[in-house]
Amino acid sequence: MFPYRRLIVPLIVGGGLALTACEAVKNGKQSSRLDDFEETGEVRNCVSIIRIDQADAIDDRTILFEMRGSEYYVNRLPHSCPQLGFEERFTYATSLHELCNTDIITVITSTGPGASCGLGLFERLKKKDEAQSE
């Protein structure tokens, strides 16, 4: 089976940094990658951009961030972001070295920029097999 991984491409945009997350086309219905994780209740406002390995748009309100070092965070947007789950790709711009709950993402559609939506808090997740072995 073809592995799906997101490619994060840095771009310089007006003095800030923008990253674009793109995903290979998946066959069949999208399964929720969140089923493999347990919530920890540990939340933070920001994550380091250079530590982001990939970002998966699960649906219109949920993004799973895989960080270098096998650390995972889920971001549940406070409001639905139209077409995020369908397009499964977005961009963001920031002048900081962190992506924060105050930042805005923009859905990338086949016809250009789509909806722009605010991020929520980042909650750390544990893989279920790691959580059970503790």
Q: Is residue 133 part of a domain?
A: no
Q: Is residue 27 part of a domain?
A: no
pLDDT digits (tens, 9 = 90+) for 62-90: 999 999 999 999 999 999 999 999 999 99
CA atoms within 13 A on the CB side of 35: 4
Q: Is residue 74 part of a domain?
A: yes
Give the global pTM: 0.74
Q: In this structure, which amino acid lies at residue 18?
A: A
Structurally, how many domains does the chain consist of?
1
Q: Is residue 51 part of a domain?
A: yes
Q: Is residue 29 part of a domain?
A: no
pLDDT digits (tens, 9 = 90+) for 3-37: 333 434 444 343 444 444 434 334 333 456 888 89
Percent pLDDT > 90 in the chain is 65
User: Per-residue pLDDT averaged across 114-121, rounded?
Assistant: 97
- Are the C-beta atoms of residues 81 and 1 closer than 8 Å to each other? no
Q: Is residue 16 part of a domain?
A: yes
Kindly write down the DSSP assignment for every residue of 31-50, as one continuous string: PPGGGGEEEEEEEESEEEGG
Supply the range of the domain harboring residue 15: 6-20+38-127
Q: Quote the pLDDT of residue 133.
A: 53
Q: Is residue 28 part of a domain?
A: no
